[in-house]
Chains A and B, each alone.
Chain A
């Protein structure tokens, strides 16, 4: 399947170069195991959200509500934990909240043929309102039990727990997308919805599946972010939407045919995380960080386009 093997090494090489540059500039603070583990911990929530976005982009759709679902997941989990609900249930509830939102998104898109762009844009605004209603517009932190913050800061054998969660999800969904029939069907729908339908693939349910997976990932990530920082609010997920799609777009450059792939998204996420970490260590002002990060995203996609123009007609 598309992207099973890394056919374009350019993006991976770019990641190595970026790491190399930071390593040379700040060997003591950047190029350490401790910092690398720190990067993975910072990157884990984004990695999960981006993984979700990969599914939706695979079927050639967009989920603009993904950032709001991150916020929702955090708020739902945090509020329930205050109510004394067992911590695992709080996390489960965040995932379920995501599932429901994703299901609604998917049904509207697949059943009524509404552009996903518009559907999820509206959904994002709706969720904003819902979260405001739940929190009264304030940040939830008072009364959050200590236990709620454990998953966010726990380390197992020195490795952050959320890094492990993200890694497991990546392995599972890499297999899912490349070696299971459902994954192949998602790619087929992305290749051509009409051809997939004509071939007898039940595109209705698989299109919904993509939105559901995407939103569930975002819900889980939201809960983990809330756990790590010990608070939740409407804006907690704001940054994740653009960042996650940036990661998927960079990731597309990894697969030969330019379609989204799980490994590519991982590479994309790591590039973004390493840049954020390294530029902060270099004490680059945040406006410069934005300019450099944005520039690299555009550059990656342009290079991919140029590369693609060579091979095909």
Chain B
């Protein structure tokens, strides 16, 4: 075996992110890694990449024990390369220079030999079956081309294990097929691939074996040929009985009570052309799901109606009041709460304390004639910590020290303090643990029951079908169709997305 992982543990703030993980991977094997958000996938690959240090356990690489602490560059030297979901390329540099970053440039007499660099990188790309103009700046490349540049970069050194983290998240179908052929090519050359994804069809198509994680522990490693998608879903989500209970408890569609329209948008277009005319009604008392492939403009649409992205046209109606130029402060006053996708960048200030973060949107509510009512704010923050079961040392603990799930609860507390009537949630359960995820679902379900409106954007279709009363499908900057979530199958939704894609490419 190329890689043997034996009972590895990793804890963050006393909570297990990985527990007793066993894992093995052979040479030239394509191995899938799946699991829900917070299952420990990224923790695991970051341990392999030398970004995190394991707490307990052994890792054998080619039969040799790896030291407990390895640095990312050492891990790379061993032949482990990770390609993360987010591009880490320098936009202004050409493809070939990006490929050569971190390696000695070909130099003669102190001058960089650009021709030589071009030859080297293009030869490597051709070898991998990648055809791409590497002299183009990365900023002008499509997401798929960028991915290719990263793959070439990884393969420039002697790469034995390539880890791909959600590589198709931003790719179209056609590009995905291209990526698949590159992966098969690598496999044929004896390179092992660890393939992290939440798309089961890719697992079925591409991998030899697949490992399922749940809650930081290994559920099972199975041969892909001997399993089915259904089986994998079952393994990922745990026992089916439990999820059934969840449904009954949240009382999905309990009374079929669907209120009147709380938020109405017409012809929303963003100035940058990503959102191209969205019409949508969000009704009070229910959860409206929104699904779209990456790049469909979901996040951008939410930013448009909340007021952090410039509009080129369209209007937002709340309570009969129409605005064509929303701003965040006005949206909040209208009762909107925005849980944004970029938690650490936009939803909170990591260096600030729990209390300060919760108060961000409510400073004025806790101000009397100019004076901030610190004591009242502290008390409220403590109430929130209790109500949402936030694990922290106290109100003054910096938010960055909290786990992802608890950070997200702080973000929800911030929103709750503004007493919203319309929730706009962008991937609210992204990178949170399973328990928090369920708590967030329950919270939003309760809010809906109280007559609030919830717009719930997620790229996790299974999740959406679990929580939403109806599902709006977004593609190419427009809402294509709104399905009622009754016997709705993932394939129906995906078919709608792909149909849009076909129309657009025509």
Contact = CB atoms under 8 A, between A and B. Distances in A.
A86 to B, nearest CB: 31
B348 to A, nearest CB: 6
B328 A197 contact: yes
Nearest to B365: A181
Interface string A170-191: 0000000001111111001001
B340 interface: yes
Interface in B353-406: 356, 359-361, 363-364, 366-367, 370-372, 374, 398, 400
B64 interface: no
A194 B372 contact: no
Given A180-B370, A185-B363, 20 more contacts: A1-B356, A179-B374, A180-B372, A181-B372, A182-B370, A183-B372, A184-B363, A188-B352, A191-B351, A192-B349, A194-B342, A195-B347, A196-B349, A198-B346, A199-B414, A200-B329, A200-B333, A201-B329, A202-B329, A312-B400
Report which residue of A188, A197, A198 has the largest number of chain B beta carbons within 10 angstroms of its beta carbon. Answer: A198
B345 interface: yes
B338 interface: yes
Q: Pick the 10 closest A-B CB pairs, nearest first.
A: A191-B349, A199-B360, A181-B367, A200-B332, A200-B329, A199-B361, A194-B346, A198-B346, A192-B349, A200-B328
Given A181-B370, A184-B372, A199-B414, A192 B346 contact: yes
Interface in A176-231: 179-185, 188, 191-192, 194-202
Interface in B218-247: none
A257 interface: yes
B458 interface: no
Contact of B364 (A181, A195, A257): A181
A179 B371 contact: yes
Nearest to B303: A198
Contacts of A182: 370
Interface of A: 1, 179-185, 188, 191-192, 194-202, 257, 312
A183 B342 CA distance: 25
Contacts of A194: 342, 345-346
14 contacts: A181-B371, A184-B356, A194-B345, A194-B346, A195-B345, A195-B348, A196-B349, A198-B308, A198-B328, A200-B333, A200-B360, A200-B361, A201-B360, A257-B351
Contacts of A202: 327, 329
Contacts of B356: 1, 184, 188
Report which residue of B332, B346, B347 has the largest number of chain A beta carbons within 10 angstroms of its beta carbon. Answer: B346
B331 interface: yes
Interface of B: 306, 308, 327-329, 331-333, 338, 340, 342, 345-349, 351-352, 356, 359-361, 363-364, 366-367, 370-372, 374, 398, 400, 414, 418
Contacts of A181: 363-364, 366-367, 370-372
Contacts of A201: 328-329, 360-361, 363
A195 B349 contact: yes
Report which residue of A180, A195, A202 has the largest number of chain B beta carbons within 10 angstroms of its beta carbon. Answer: A195
Main secondary structure of the interface of A (DSSP, over half): helix
Contacts of A196: 349, 360
B410 to A, nearest CB: 12
B71 to A, nearest CB: 15
A198 B374 contact: no
B400 to A, nearest CB: 7
Contacts of B338: 198
Contact of A197 (B308, B352, B359, B371): B308
A146 to B, nearest CB: 40
Nearest to B414: A199
A194 B306 CA distance: 13
B333 to A, nearest CB: 8
A188 B357 CA distance: 9
A210 to B, nearest CB: 16
A194 B349 CA distance: 9
Contacts of B348: 192, 195
Given A180-B370, A201-B360, A191 B352 contact: yes
Contacts of B360: 188, 195-196, 199-201
A184 B356 CA distance: 9
Given A188-B360, A312-B400, A198 B347 contact: yes
B452 to A, nearest CB: 18
A185 B371 CA distance: 12
B90 to A, nearest CB: 20
A263 to B, nearest CB: 17
A114 to B, nearest CB: 17
B331 to A, nearest CB: 7
Contacts of B374: 179
B11 to A, nearest CB: 14
Contacts of A257: 351, 398
A197 B371 CA distance: 21
A185 B366 CA distance: 13
Given A182-B370, A185-B363, A191-B349, A198 B340 contact: yes
Contacts of A191: 349, 351-352
A195 B352 CA distance: 11
A173 to B, nearest CB: 13
Contact of B331 (A184, A192, A200): A200
Contacts of A185: 363
Contacts of B371: 179-181
B375 to A, nearest CB: 11
A155 B340 CA distance: 57
A200 B326 CA distance: 11
A259 to B, nearest CB: 8
Nearest to B349: A191
A35 to B, nearest CB: 38
Contacts of B367: 180-181
A192 B357 CA distance: 11
A257 B327 CA distance: 31
A213 to B, nearest CB: 15
Nearest to B363: A181
A308 B352 CA distance: 15
Contacts of B418: 200
A209 to B, nearest CB: 13
B82 to A, nearest CB: 20
